[in-house]
Amino acid sequence: MYRIPELKKCSPGIPLPASTSTLLSGILEYKVTRKFSYQISLLILQPLYPVMEETNYINDLKLGKLPTHVAIIMDGNGRWARKHGRPRVFGHKNGVQAVREVSEAAAEIGIKYLTLYAFSTENWSRPPREVSALMGLLVETIHREMNTLNNNDIRLRAIGELQKLPPKTYEALLEGIDKTKDNKRMDLVLALNYSSRWEITECVRTISELVRLNKIKPTDISESMISDYLATHFMPDPEFLIRTSGEKRLSNFLLWQSAYTEFYFCNKMWPEFKKEDFFQAIQEFQNRERRFGKTSDQLL
């Protein structure tokens, strides 16, 4: 009786994990002659490649050199839907899967804060039907993903003019924040009805009122004081910001906080952005030299 030899590779240069040997036994086509021969369908094996790619990226990461805070501008849902001949809402619904994958990936490698630009103040100018669908999708997603957040020890938080959200959306958000408040592995921060110019304007108003009431002097105002009165006061500034869809701008997102942030622009639309894409982006961050005004020699 001929014995199937151990398979070493699934394609040139791509190592096959030993754990897949059982799986492969069902997709070998073989015939018995004087010599044993076998053939593997690469089409069937193709789904294995992303898993192996993801493993390679994780192995390449320097876990001691991770950003504490990653911010993402999730762009391209509408264009992705149009590319597939579907309405824009279809893109937003598929973007939820990318949120889930990236959130789990960030928590898995030890990112402490992940901020997602979910809805800007400018987004209210979109067609009412799309805005209504987005708000409904947010409610649905918070309810559906509650177990996932708790199982992964992820705390939900939010920044923006939250009280101006539709009542049902606001209530669902507060419920999600309350039910995950004791989780400690990672903070998932949703920027909702958020605008950096709004945030800075509110900060100026608050500090100006403190000056008017003689609680502080103008000379007391510092960079750290301004940061303390921003919506993001509870977390450090992002070291790394990712934007999908090929656009290269901040779009009124974390303007003050991004003074020394590393930017990463990806051509993939948000619904196409997967775990391995996130790991690849983090690897790019780790390969950069962050000088903060110093020379390279000073960092040695």
Report the chain's terminal Cα–Cα distance, integer Å: 63
131 neighbors 101 (Cβ within 8 angstroms): no
220 is catalytic: no
> Which two structure tokens, joined as six digits, stand for 209?
């009122």
214 is catalytic: no
Strand order in the sheet with 154-159: 154-159, 186-194, 113-120, 69-73, 240-243, 262-265
The neighbour count for residue 275, using CB atoms within 10 Å, is 21
Could you give the CA distance from residue 92 to residue 56 in angstroms, rounded to a whole number? 29
Write down the catalytic residue from 59, 60, 123, 178: 123
Could you give the CA distance from residue 222 to residue 232 in angstroms, rounded to a whole number? 16
Could you give the CA distance from residue 202 to residue 208 in angstroms, rounded to a whole number? 10
Write down the catalytic residue from 56, 59, 60, 75: 75
CB-based contacts of 14: which residues, under 8 Å, 6+ apart?
49, 52
Residue with tokens 């590393």, as numbered in its chain: 262
Q: What residues are labeled active site?
A: 75, 123
